A and B are shown apart, each in its own frame.
Chain A
Amino acid sequence: MNTMLSLLLKSMRSRIIPTSLVTISLMASMVLLLSIERIQQGAEKGFNQSISGVDAIIGPRASSLELVLYTVFHLGRPTNNITTKTINDVKLRSDISWLVPIALGDSHRGYRVIATEPNYFKHIRYGNNQPLAFSQGAPFSDFSEATIGSDVAKKLNYTVGSEIQVTHGSIESIGSKHDDFSFKVTGVLNKTGTPIDQAIFLDLKGYELLHLGWKSGKKVFSLNDINFSSLPPDALNPKTVTAAFVGLKSKLTIFNFSKNIREYPEEAISAVIPGIALSELWSIVGLVDKGFQLLSWIIIAISLIAMVTLIIASLDNRKQEMTIYRANGASPKFLAAMVIYESLIIGLMAIIGAIILVTIVTYFATTQLNLALGISPSFEWISIDEIKVFSIILLSGALSSLIPATMVFRKNIHQTLS
């Protein structure tokens, strides 16, 4: 055994260039697989933490996926609204700790506008229950003020004090602009890695004001003709909203709560639990990652084939070496085992290299990944699942080296002795 290992290591050292190239290609494919796996885990975690601190989302009766898509991801548009009366009724429930209504529909240069109340920034959290924080300024406190997400500020170069006008609907087109009223940015949120970064927050009252002169999606009169001080005090109270985020006093009452909401007699509304809806959504979105995973397995298979090809190709050059072992009494078993051990050593080196590389990368890149993609692959050495993956790779490496091993085993020593 010792004899074999020392001979094998010396033999491999004499073929260092092809051997290390194959080791590197195997290692690179494993780094790919590991990275994809870790990024996928990070992405799934990040995705499921797109919103946090919210126990339920109330909206017009629709599929839970739809509701999550437009309330959390600001994608698509609601088909119905719910009335403020309904919201006020729900607010009266004793199991509710807080409720934040939102109204969607407008946008600003492609970024969605979310009209809400200032306490949105107090209750809505992201990631691992992290509160929203401001890199500049503070939440809006007046109907003419706006708060923007970090991506909006960065991409459009806005800071506190910038003036913005919003567009009716999500596409800018002539006549759809609320060009008769401007909002002043009072705060810029920190980067969260969630859709909040790409949102503009207005006060519901401001949002209501914008639509005073609108009927059925068309502007009937301009706000320029209105004297704000002459408006009745409740004129800016919204009549409808799109949805509401709810925090409960006790999470245990969530199922009872959503059942009651569904049975609310005066309007067709429903409540979804964001965690459940998000993981449902991930099962669709996550398919892409499954594809990548499959791809990296294919690459590993290719690398293993390359390894076996190398070993087979080297056998011809090692004829002399093998013959001398045999002439000195080594059995064919010894030579076959040597070939299998060689593949195990290559596999093991590649695995160790891959672990070191991925560990270093995740250690240093976690912050960057977090900032860039909102993904935080947790720093870890190696997980049980990864050990399983490595065992599979090692095993298949050893199994595929049985091909050259058999070739060596079957080789008639006489062919080489002469």
Chain B
Amino acid sequence: MLHTLGLEYCYDNGKKIVFPEIGVQRGQRLLISGFSGCGKTTLLSLIAGALKLQTGDIKFDSYDYSSMSSLLLDRLRADHIGYIFQTLNLIPFLSVSENIALGIRFSQARKSRINNLNQEINRLVAALGLDKEVLNTPVNRLSVGQQQRVAVARALLGKPDLILADEPTSALDSDTTKKFLNEVMEAFDSSKQAIVMVSHDASIAPYFDSVIDLNEHYA
């Protein structure tokens, strides 16, 4: 489903990173690990179509990033990709349901996969082990663990093909991390979706089908 070819990225300060070749199949759970500063977020941004390709190419199903305008890449991201940040995933002035609903605000395709939005939000919230009360709680009153689950609910809403997660557990303690990952892996539909997570925490590797260590790649 996703294939990267000869990706290289050169930063403004002249630092250059050469990424390994990555292939992701539907249903696959891939962990990309490595120290901070090894280009994990850059790789994720490239896959999300948020960063312009410099060298190499990315193919996503029938799409070929190198031949797409940034507008088309925005479209692709809206329709096919759910993105989870390290922290600060939620918009403070929106309610929890509105924050989750943002996942389909910009995509007709994801919207069309949902019959009843409230029902779907309730289902996701329950599947992620969140109390239903959370929906009526102001965003800034949620714990970090709760916020990350809300972010996952948003990324999963409307069943995008690929979930990209950038260190979603870095702010969580190890118990919460375990619980969080269990629930995420439960909630995601392995028949249609794939998940790519980057993390410096190698201990979470058991939750994934495959692991790519960027540090090893350099070594």
Given that A11-B93, A413-B51, A414-B50 are contacting pairs, would A328 and B45 also be in contact in the complex, using a CB cutoff of 8 Å? no
Nearest CB on B from A80, distance (A)? 78
B83 part of interface (Cβ distance < 8 Å): yes
Question: When the two chains form their complex, are residues B74 and A417 in contact, meaning their CB atoms are under 8 A apart?
Answer: no
Chain B residues with CB under 8 Å of A333's CB are 71
Tell me the A292-335 residues at the B interface (CB within 8 Å).
Answer: 320-321, 323-334
Specify which chain A residues have a CB less than 8 angstroms from the CB of B93 in the assembled complex: 10-11, 13-14
A327 touches B50 (CB 8 A): yes
Chain A proximity of B189: nearest CB distance (Å) = 19
Q: Is B204 an interface residue (CB 8 A)?
A: no
Whether A328 contacts B83 by the Cβ 8 Å rule is yes
Answer whether residue A216 sits at the interface, using C-beta atoms and an 8 A cutoff: no
Is the CB of A418 closer than 8 A to any CB of chain B? yes
Answer whether residue B78 sits at the interface, using C-beta atoms and an 8 A cutoff. Answer: yes
CB-contact partner of A331 in B74, B90, B94, under 8 A? B74
From known contacts A417-B45, A417-B48, A418-B45, infer whether A324 and B75 are also in contact, taking CB-CB under 8 Å.
no
The reply to whether A327 and B91 contact each other, CB–CB distance below 8 Å, is no
Task: Check if B35 is an interface residue, CB within 8 A of chain A.
Answer: no
Distance in angstroms from A247 CB to nearest chain B CB is: 71
Contact A329 B77 (CB under 8 A): yes
* B contacts with A, residue count (CB < 8 A): 32
For the complex, is B23 an interface residue (Cβ under 8 Å from A)?
no
Q: Among residues 34 to 72 in chain B, which have CB atoms less than 8 Å away from a CB atom of chain A?
A: 41-42, 44-45, 48, 50-51, 70-71
A328 and B154 form a contact (CB under 8 A): yes
Q: How many Å lie between the Cα of A321 and that of B139 in the bound state?
A: 13
**Is residue B161 contacting chain A, with contact meaning CB distance below 8 A?**
no
Q: Which of B42, B48, B70 has the most chain A CB within a 10 Å cutoff?
A: B48
Residues in B neighbouring A3, C-beta threshold 8 A: 105-106
How distant is the Cα of A412 from the Cα of B50 in the complex, in angstroms?
8
The proximity string for A residues 400-418 relative to B, scoring 1 for CB distances below 8 Å and 0 otherwise, is 0000000000001110011
Minimum C-beta distance from B159 to chain A (A):
14
Q: Check B75–A414 contact: CB distance below 8 A.
A: no
Q: List CB contacts (< 8 Å) of A237-290 with chain B.
A: none
Please indicate the chain B residues that have their CB under 8 angstroms from the CB of A414 in the complex: 42, 45, 50-51
Q: In the bound complex, what is the Cα–Cα distance between A326 and B51 (angstroms)?
A: 12
B106 in contact with A330 (CB, 8 Å):
yes
Closest-by-CB residue of A relative to B106 is: A329
A418: chain B residues at CB < 8 Å are: 41-42, 45, 166
The answer to whether A327 and B48 touch across the interface, beta carbons within 8 angstroms, is: yes
The residue of chain A having its C-beta at the shortest distance from the C-beta of B102 within the complex is A328
Residue of A nearest to B95 (CB): A10
- Interface-centre pick from A13, A412, A418 (highest chain B CB count, 10 A): A418
Q: A329, B89: Cβ atoms under 8 Å?
A: no
Instruction: Determine the distance from Cα of A314 to Cα of B51 in the docked complex, in whole angstroms.
Output: 24
A63–B39 CA distance with the chains assembled, in angstroms? 87
Give, as a whole number of angstroms, the nearest-CB distance from B80 to chain A.
9
A417 to B107, CA, bound (A): 19
Please name all residues of chain B whose beta carbon is closer than 8 Å to the beta carbon of A327 when the two chains form the complex.
48, 50, 77, 83, 85
In chain A, positions 56-100 with a C-beta closer than 8 Å to chain B are none
Say yes or no: A329-B45 contact (C-beta < 8 A), given A10-B94, A320-B91, A414-B50. no
Q: Known contacts A413-B51, A417-B50, A418-B45: does B71 contact A331 (CB below 8 Å)?
A: yes
Is B168 on the interface with A (CB-CB < 8 A)? no
Tell me the minimal C-beta distance from B75 to chain A in angstroms.
7
Residues of A close to B51: CB separation below 8 A = 412-414, 417
For A334, what are the chain B residues with a Cβ–Cβ distance below 8 Å? Answer: 106
- CA–CA, A418 to B9, complex, Å? 15
CA–CA, A3 and B98, complex, Å:
11
Measured in the bound complex, the distance between the Cα atoms of B77 and A11 in whole Å is 23
A369-418 CB contacts (< 8 Å) to partner B: 412-414, 417-418
- For the complex, what is the distance from the CA of A199 to the CA of B196, rounded to whole Å? 93
17 A-B contacts (beta carbon < 8 Å): A320-B88, A324-B102, A325-B106, A327-B50, A327-B83, A327-B85, A329-B74, A329-B79, A329-B106, A330-B74, A330-B78, A331-B75, A414-B51, A417-B50, A418-B42, A418-B45, A418-B166
> Which residues on A are within 8 Å of B, measured CB to CB?
3, 7, 10-11, 13-14, 320-321, 323-334, 412-414, 417-418
The list of the 5 closest CB pairs from A to B, nearest first, reads A329-B78, A14-B93, A329-B106, A327-B83, A414-B51
